[in-house]
Amino acid sequence: MLRQYKLKNYNFKLIIFVICLSFIGYFAIGSAKQSVQSRQLYGILIGIIAMVIVSLIDYNLYAKIKWVLYIISVVGLTLVLIFGVVVNHSKRWINIGFQFQPSELAKILLILFFSQFIMKYRERLNTFKIIVFMIILVAVPMLLVYKEPDLSTTIVIGITFCIMLFVGGLEYRTVFIILGTVIPLGIAFFSIIMQEGQSLLKEYQVIRILAWLYPEKYADSAAYQQRNSVTAISSGMLHGKGLNNNVIASVKNGDFISEPQTDFIYAVIGEEMGFIGAAAVVILLFLIGYECMRIAHYSNNVSGAIIADGLAGMVMAQGFMNIAVTTGLLPNTGIPLPFVSYGLTSLVSLYIGIGVVLNIGLQGDKRKKMSTDV
């Protein structure tokens, strides 16, 4: 399980990018809600320790326990629906002495599971039987997450799954067939949820979509947070108003954004760190994704490439969705900004995922790297 690795093969760039992004979040959280800043620091430290430990464990081990990982994911998501704590219309957390969010850990475990599953059935990946079987397997956790309800995480899981399938060897013909089916279904779904009396989405979710489409009509209700978020980001200009400022005109100080330390932390960064801080977050997210994809390129087997590319896709997709919500490009969905938003389950789970990717890098095909560099 534990192997001897050379320190020179450790991807310190990826570690530095992750830690830098985490500390941007740490300082922004302290400004948004100082009472939880110390907990976030504990989360960063626990995450770093977990990352280092996981990075020394041979990732090929997950092939032997892939079904255990899947069962843990499904059981955890089922338990949250039964015993979960309801917060803001959603039941996403289980109280086990502290708030634990199973869907955040499930995203990492599902990446590990499907990487090994695709690896095992790669030669038959494009057959109808295997595709249907995998869709059923991913549909179960997606449905459980959707029932919380957590549409944004459901979408992220779906996007990550599609990326992993493509990296695993899904043929372009199959991709076009799936897109030809999914796109019309998506249009039909959107048309249905806009009808009165529909039951696919809850009322508050429909209102959020309407508020996104008609922000002026819902300016004092459902669109209130997003409009204030856009105002906060734009008011930061180049350098921002400064962390922990006492500016009366601050959107954060005026409590115009509820729980700014979580889903709307990017608004705090934009207002207090300005364009420089907001751009730094985007650049660091891109660099983390790039380093993961680079490790995937040098992986010595397909499962390693699938894991690294899957995590890259998940981080960048989730980051895009969060920033798109805070800037008004997408409806308010409620999803954390990777490594930045307050939340220990999300933070530690992501660090665990990075640990797996680091181990893939430690075992990468150096001959391939040398030939590429030449």
pLDDT band at 372 (very low <50, low <70, confident <90, very high): very low
Residue 230 within a domain: yes
Residue 372 within a domain: no
Total structural domains within the chain: 1
Average pLDDT over residues 125-141: 93
Specify the pLDDT at position 364: 78
Specify the pLDDT at position 250: 75
Least confident of 87-101, 188-202, 218-232, 265-279: 188-202
Average pLDDT over residues 137-151: 92
Residue 101 within a domain: yes
Q: How are the residues of the chain apportioned to helix, strand and coil, as percentages rounded to the nearest 5?
A: 70, 5, 30
Residue 36 within a domain: yes
Residue 206 within a domain: yes
Q: How does pLDDT run across 294-304, given as a tens digit for each residue?
A: 999 999 889 99
Residue 370 within a domain: no
Specify the pLDDT at position 3: 65
Could you tell me if 142 and 154 are in contact, meaning their C-beta atoms sit under 8 angstroms apart? yes
- Taking the C-alpha atoms of residue 270 and residue 107, their distance in angstroms, rounded to an integer, is 28
Strand, helix or coil for residue 95: strand
Q: How does pLDDT run across 205-260, given as a tens digit for each residue?
A: 777 777 877 777 787 777 888 888 898 899 889 988 888 777 766 777 767 787 78
Average pLDDT over residues 15-24: 97
Residue 329 within a domain: yes
**What is the domain range of residue 98?**
7-365
pTM of whole model > 0.75?
Answer: yes
Mean pLDDT of all residues belonging to the chain: 88
Residue 248 within a domain: yes
